[in-house]
Copies of this chain bind each other. A is one copy, B any other.
């Protein structure tokens, strides 16, 4: 019989996932994504210009661009996180995460179809309970689709700029919560059991994980980003295989939910030629 996780889930259960579109009025795409207690506002803003490096020296367009910014609200964590604007700079973790979000979304974006536009993705974490970077990728994907729909002209003969579905999930090797057992007259903690592969880690699990992996995949079941880290110990090829399979299973479910959330009209657009 399988061990129960800290919040009662089975090893391959995901936390409840909810995406609310059109969450803010300003940006062309704006989404509130909730993954268990983790909540992120993901917005996509469209501007009619491109950065200099997207032009050739003689001014011709190399297509559009997308960049991403990410932050934790100071109040989003159990212990308050110092505000980066007060410190005067973004920290290393923030840089690492916003680069991951940017690369992931650019991988499903047709820069030529985007035209001379820059899309800025803002992921602001309202509440952090593990998996904020993967929730950001998933939420930003929906915001991106809405932002593209806001300017897309189906009569243009151009393809829709979003080429494929995209979603992200975390997996990891985590030991089950230690049980309490009777030892003679006393109740004591049982010895730690071996780590098991878990899907969609919450913060309590993430902070105990021996191995941690973030996976970003497309609707075609291919990899866009795979980042595995041996936090507590190195890990074997067999563990890697198990974790990747578990992640693929989760991403499949998220992409199904994305299709429900976007509706037939937009599902039909994605990846369709113009």
Residues of A within 8 A of B (CB): 24-27, 30, 37, 41, 43, 45, 47, 69, 71, 73-80, 83-96, 98-99, 103, 107, 120, 122, 124, 126-127, 129, 164, 217-218, 220, 222-230, 233-237, 240, 244
Whether B227 contacts A240 by the Cβ 8 Å rule is: no
Q: What are 15 A-B pairs at a CB distance below 8 A?
A: A26-B78, A27-B80, A41-B126, A45-B74, A71-B83, A73-B124, A75-B122, A75-B124, A85-B94, A164-B234, A220-B234, A222-B235, A223-B240, A225-B228, A227-B227
A88 to B86, CA, bound (A): 8
Whether B126 contacts A24 by the Cβ 8 Å rule is: yes
A95 to B120, CA, bound (A): 21
A124 to B76, CA, bound (A): 11
Whether A41 contacts B75 by the Cβ 8 Å rule is: yes
For residue A103, give the distance in angstroms from its CB to the closest CB of chain B: 6
The answer to whether residues A79 and B226 also contact, given A99-B92, A244-B237 and a CB cut-off of 8 A, is no
Whether A93 contacts B83 by the Cβ 8 Å rule is: no
For residue A90, give the distance in angstroms from its CB to the closest CB of chain B: 5
Copies in the complex: 6
A29 to B74, CA, bound (A): 13
A217 to B230, CA, bound (A): 10
Residue of B nearest to A75 (CB): B43
10 closest A-B pairs by beta carbon, nearest first, are: A43-B75, A222-B234, A84-B85, A95-B95, A92-B95, A85-B85, A226-B228, A45-B80, A224-B230, A75-B122
For residue A227, give the distance in angstroms from its CB to the closest CB of chain B: 5
Whether A89 contacts B83 by the Cβ 8 Å rule is: no
The answer to whether residues A99 and B93 also contact, given A69-B83, A80-B27 and a CB cut-off of 8 A, is yes
The answer to whether residues A76 and B230 also contact, given A69-B86, A84-B85, A99-B96 and a CB cut-off of 8 A, is no
Tell me which residues across on chain B come within 8 A of A124, comparing CB atoms. 73-75, 124
A103 to B25, CA, bound (A): 30
For residue A15, give the distance in angstroms from its CB to the closest CB of chain B: 15
Tell me which residues across on chain B come within 8 A of A127, comparing CB atoms. 24-26
